[in-house]
Amino acid sequence: MSAQQVALLNASYEPLGKVSFKHAVRMLFREVALVEEQHGERMIGPHPWPRVIRLVRYVAAHWLHRTAGYSRTGVLTRDRHTCAYCGRHATTVDHVLPQSRGGGTTWLNAVAACAPCNHRKANRTPAEAGLRLHLTPYAPTRAQLAAI
């Protein structure tokens, strides 16, 4: 998490996602949130410098339990930036069934991959490239992505 992002928790301590630092400070001054974890001894007015904030009132977040919209960043987050083929740090997203062979850009057809494995696999299936998939792709909910 960058210094400009602050984790947001529901009143029940359930993760809701991240907000900008500016938005977090506004929430503190409007008294709709409290600082749960602070950044060192720094202060912003009467409040500690927030790293994690918690809402004062519970917000029913039914939308969190729906499947998240597909995104490259979401795939890397879901797979924890770990290559699905070799386990090293992943920086790219690979289509398990290549798009040229009818594979779609979906949660179930995309995995995080390091550049060498992605280039080695190229326009083939993992079996054709001699690679073994070490994880099963799944469609995460928004809550699962927020918790990672």
In the structure, what pLDDT confidence band is assigned to residue 14 with cuts at 50, 70 and 90? confident
Q: What are phi and psi of 45, to 5 degrees?
A: 65, -135
**What pTM, to 2 d.p., does this model score?**
0.62
In the chain, the percentage of residues whose pLDDT exceeds 90 is 75
Q: CA 29 → CA 12, 23, 41, distances in Å?
A: 21, 10, 18
pLDDT at position 1 is 46
- Average the pLDDT over 4-19 and give the result: 90
Q: What are phi and psi of 142, to 5 degrees?
A: -65, -35
Q: How many Cβ atoms are within 10 Å of 96's Cβ, its own excluded?
A: 17
Most confident of 3-17, 19-33, 64-78: 19-33
Choose the weakest-confidence range: 11-25, 79-93, 109-123.
11-25
Q: How far is residue 105's CA from residue 12's CA, in Å, rounded to a whole number? A: 35
Q: Are 121 and 90 in contact (CB under 8 A)?
A: no
pLDDT at position 147 is 76
pLDDT digits (tens, 9 = 90+) for 50-105: 999 999 999 887 766 788 889 999 999 999 999 999 999 999 999 999 999 999 99
Give 121's contacts (C-beta < 8 A, 6+ positions apart): 85, 94, 113, 129, 131
